[in-house]
Structure 1
Amino acid sequence: MIDFRSDTVTKPTAPMLAAMHAAPVGDDVFGEDPSINELEQYSAELFGMESALFCPSGTMTNQIAIRCHTQPGDEVICDALSHVYLYEGGGIASNSGASVQLLQGNFGRLTADQVVAAINNKDDVHRPLSRLVSLENTANRGGGTCYDFNDIQLIKAVCLNNNLSLHLDGARLFNAIVAKKESPEQYGKTFDSISVCLSKGLGAPVGSVLLGTKDFIKKARRTRKVFGGGMRQAGYLAAGALYALRHQVTRLEQDHAHAALIVEALKKKDFVGMIPPVETNIILFEVKGRFTAKELVGILANKGILTIAMSPTQVRIVTHLDITEEMVKQTIREIESL
C-alpha cells in the first residue's frame, strides 16, 4: 500500500534505528537520561532558545504551553482550523480552563489586524482576559500553507503591545523553514514558546519538544508531570528524534517536490475542485461532481493508495520520507486513469 494518510506513518530508517539501539539512557524524571538531555540541549541551541522539554506528543507540548501561559478563565486567540482547537480533545478547556477566540484566517493563517480586533478590553469584567495567541505553521487544515515571516513579526508586535504571549504549534515547522528558506533562530527570537513535532516528516518514531525560557520550561516540566508525561529510559526515543534533527531536515524538499507533482495531476481532473496553495507536503483538495470524498478515498484504496477524507468534500494527501519516486509515479498514473 502507498500510504498518504499522514506523515505520522513514517518508520525509522536503518541508521536511525542503529542510533536508537546505541543510545545511552537513564531515568529522565531524575534528569539522568543523557540522550534526552542531549536532545533538549541541541533543540534549544538550534532555535537559540534557553531550554527545551521532550514529550511524547505534539498535543502534549501544545497543551503544556497553553497551561503555562494562561490562568483558568483566560482566552486563547487562534484560527478556527487550528490543531490546538480542533484536534486536541478539547484540551484547552479541559487542561487549562481557558476559552478560545476563534478567527477565520487565510487557509489557517492569521493577520496582525485580526489579532488586534480579537483582543478583549481588559477592563470589561464580562469578557475573558486575552492572554495567548497561538499560531500554526505549517497550517494542517490550510493544506500545509506557510506563514510569511513578516506577518508573524507583525503579530508579535501586537502581542508585545498588548501583553500577550505568543505560542507556535510547529508540528510541521521544519517543512515551513525548508520551503521558505528560513532559519530556526528566526522563530526562537520571535515566539515565547514553540512546539516542534519530530515524528512527522522528520521521521522519528515518537516525540515532540517544547522550547522556551529556562523559567518557562521549569514550569512546563512540572506541568508535564501533572499530565502524566514523565518518562524514564526514554533516551531510546530521544536518540531517534536527535538523529532526525541532525540528518533528515533538508530531505523535506523531496516531499515537497513529490506533492507538487501529484497536485499537477489532480488539477487536470474534473472531480477536483479548489486546492489551497501547495507549499509543502500536504495536498488538501475539494472533491466534486462524480465522487464524494468518501467514495474517492475508497476507490484509491482499492488501487493500493491510502488517503483520508478530512471532511465530506475534502481529501488529504500527505507525502513523507517513506514515499518513493516510483510510488509518486504510480499514484499519478492511477489518478490519471480515473
Structure 2
Amino acid sequence: MISDAIEQLLAHCCTPNHVRRIERGEGGTKERAALWGALQESGFTDALVAEAMGGAGLSLSDVYPIAFVAGRHALPLPLIQTILVRGIMSETNAELPEGSITIAGDVAVTPDGTIISNYVPFGEVADWVLVDFGDRAQLLPATGAQRHIAGGCGSVNARMRWAKQPISGNELPGSNWRAYGACLISAMLAGSMARILQMTIGYANDRVQFGRPIAKLQIIQQQISVMAEQVFAARMSAQIGFSADGISPKLMAAAVAKQRTSEVVGTVSSIAHSVHGAMGFTEEYDLQLFTRRMHEWRLAYGTEVYWSKVVGRELLATGASRTLDFVRRSLAG
C-alpha cells in the first residue's frame, strides 16, 4: 500500500521534466515548494513520527518502499532524510520544524566558530541541515549558510558554510548520523538501479538492428543478465539496512547496505550506457538523470571503500572464527 501510494504521487508530481526544472533552478523556489507541498500534504513526512504526536508511527522497515520509490524517480528533494530526522526528533519530544531536512556528510568547526560541511547531499534544495558535532547534533537553517554546488551538471548537493553557529533549540543527541544517511541513500540507489534496469530492458527490446531487436543478441542478453544480478543484490542489501525493529538504522546493517549498493554503481551504469549507446548520454533522454544521481549517491556518506573498512574492523574486533557467525550476530540481530 505504501509503495503504490508513493509511486502514484511521484509519477504525477516528480516526472523527469519536474526533475530537470528543479536541477536547472527554473521557477526558483516555487517549483520545489510545489513538489514539497505535495509530499507534505500526503503525510509521508510524518511516517516515522509517533502516533501520539500526529504521525503514522511506522518502523524503519515500513518506510523502505518510500526511499526505494524516491530513487526510482530521482526525487531531487530529501524526503526520506526528512522522514527519519522527524521520527527521531519525535522520540525526544523536540519541536518538529517546517520544511525539508537533509543530513550533512561531514562537518568541521574552525577556531573562530565557523561551521563547514564540504558535501551535503540535497544541500542546495533543503530547508534544514542536520549537522553531527559528535557529542550532539543540531539542525541548522540552510538559508543561514553560504552555499555552493558540490557536484557536476544538475547536482543538488552543496558545500555549506555557516559564519557562526546559529542559536537553535533543535538539538539531538550525537550519534552516527553518517551511518543513518548511508542507509537511506542505499535504498535510493537500489530504486534508481531498478529504474535503470527497466529502461535498459525496454530499450533493448525496442531497438532493432540487423532486422531484429538487440535484446535477441547473446552479448546484450549476457550484459543485461549481469546487470540484473547486481541490481537485485543491491536491492536486497538495501533492505538489510532498513531491517531495524525501531526507527534508527543499525550500524553494521547500514554499512553493508551502503557498501554493496555503492560497489555496483559503476557496473550498472556502464552496462546501461553500453546497451543504450550514444542515446543514453543525451540530455533529452532520461537515462542520464538516473546514472548521474547514482554516481553522486555513491559518494554520499562514504563510498564502498569506507564502509568495507568499517565492516572489516568490526569483524576483526569480534574475533569471530567464521565470517558467517559474524554475519549472523551483526545483521540478524
- Normalised-by-shorter TM-score class: under 0.3
Higher strand share: 1
Higher helix share: 2
- TM-score, with normalisation over the residues of structure 2? 0.25
Larger RCO: 1 or 2 (CA < 8 Å, sep 6+): 1
- TM-score, with normalisation over the residues of structure 1? 0.25
